[in-house]
Every structure is written in structure tokens, then in C-alpha cells.
Structure 1
Amino acid sequence: MERHADPALTLRAGASSDIEQCVALWVDACAVRDGRSIGGIADRARPKFDRSIGWIVASSGEQIDGFVLATAPGSGMPTDPPDAAVVGLLAVQPSQQARGLGRTLLQAIGRHLSDAGYRQAVLHALLDNHTALGLYRSEGWTAVGDEYEHSLLKRPLRTFSRDLMQDGLGGTVGD
């Protein structure tokens, strides 16, 4: 286990008993981001948990305050680098946003993937999500390729890549 700057929060590996709470958190965070609930969000997220190669949960007691999930290379977009792990889900409880938890989770999954031998990771970000884009860029993620349209949301999306061998990555999140 790893501690976050908030001593009440603990980072730990996700477990099957966390799936529904994480999916609900993902749906809530997306609704806040998008200004409304959009059908199909949960159905697209749920299968990713079964394909996880890294899943980290930030919790305070029984409450999940945030999580990040990565899947194996080849599980993202056809244009992703073939050897890049895919950070497919990152969400923080809306009441906990802007407190550094998203950054902590993003750094933790980077360390986990690096320790597992992955040299590169990608994520796909909506170009109108300026807060997330600022976080990704400040953590060394760079835009690659052309923008394209999100198949469900019909909004511009872009792939971002991160070299996991850069300084600052290393260490693991325990079970």
C-alpha cells in the first residue's frame, strides 16, 4: 500500500469487489466532465476491468475516491504504438478533484507499468477537457498522431504518449 498526501487516502491494487464502485465513479466523473449523463459510458468501461494489467484504487475506508486502470498493448486504438500499455480509465470523485489525486494516480500507474517492463504508455484524451490535458502535459505525456472523433461522444480526441523510462518512475503499489 502507498499513502497519498492526504493521510486518509490509501493507494492499493484494485480488486474484483471494486469494479461496480469504480464504474459508478467513472460514470459520475464523466457526467460532471460532460455536463450531463451519457448512455453507454458504463457499458464501455466495465469490460476494461477484466483486461487490466494495472489497476490502482485510492480509497478512504470503504469509499473509493479515485482509480486508474491500464490495459495491455493493442487494447486501445489501432494507431497506438504496438508496444504501449493503454491507460484507459482515470477518474477522481468530483468532490475530490483539484487536490492532486489524479496526478498521484497517474504517477502510480506509470511506476506500476514501468516496473512490469512496459517502456511506453498511451492514453486518449478529449481535446476539450483542458484540466486533464494540463495534467497529462505536466506529467510528460505528449500528443502523437492526428486528432480524431470519439466514437460515442462525437468530440475531438487525441492520443498522448509517455516514455515510462523517464526519471521519476519506479517503485510499486502493493496489494
Structure 2
Amino acid sequence: MKKISVTVCLLLLATGLFGQSGLPDLKDVQKVVVKNYWGDQNIKGISRNQGGFKLSAVYTDTSKQQQLLEETELMQYVTLYKEKGTLYVLARQPKGFESIDLNLQIPSDLQVVSELFKGGNIFMKNLDKGVEINSLNGSVKLKGIAGYALVSAANGEVDI
């Protein structure tokens, strides 16, 4: 089995999500909150002139079959919304033992809050405003984090 990943521009996803009322202004986003139950989170910071928000996701079902989440399917598994300068990326609660791996590329000048409720690994790099992480089961690996790192990790290891 090979892991398939596709990058979908978050702006396109937001267009689908907010198509009725127009595209929200994502320039005033100061924080990104990422939450999921099972699966890995891979969050990479880049400079704003290198590109915008990008999101890819891989769904693994209970028989460990991995599935590429196309843009139309992604919205069945991941909810995106913006509220008061915060962009929320929320994976749905799993049905049985299934997981959703989230890969985000975001501007490095955003604060990141990450929660992993059941299990998986969190990888973050090149983030300038600090990170807050709450992980129940799994490892946390941080590289190139400026500002601060507040990590609560039970039943796993932390590599900073």
C-alpha cells in the first residue's frame, strides 16, 4: 500500500465552504486551530510570499485501506471555518478505528493550536509565533519553533 497525498489549496476549499456569501478574507487570520481524533498532523510554516494555506488529507479506514480525499470528499471529513481571526481545521469524529492524516502548509507567522484526542503523531516545523499542543497518545516532534512551545503529551515522546 502506498500513501497517496494531494495538495488542495485551502482558498479553493474555503470557496466551496463559503460559496454562498463569497470568499472570506483570510489575510486577517492570526491563529490556526487544528483538531482531530486519530491520525497524524503535519504542519509546516512557510513565508507568506511562498504561497497561501494548503491542506492535504489521507483517510485510512478500519481495514487500513488508505484513500485520497478529493476536494469534494474532503468536506465530508474535515470542517473549515473562520471566526474572529482564527481559522479552524477540524477532522470529524471517527466511526470505528479509522484515521485522517492532516498535512497543512501555513504562513509561518501564525500561532498554532493543535489537539489530538485519541492517537497519532504531531510534526511541526518553521513556525514563528509559538505553538500549543495537547496530545493524548503519540509523539510530538518540533523543529524551528520560535516564540514558545507549550506541549501536553501523555503516553508519547516529545522531541524538540
- Higher strand fraction (1 or 2): 2
Higher helix proportion (structure 1 or 2): 1
Q: Give yes or no for TM over 0.5.
A: no
Superposition TM-score, scaled by structure 2 size: 0.34
TM-score using structure 1 length: 0.32
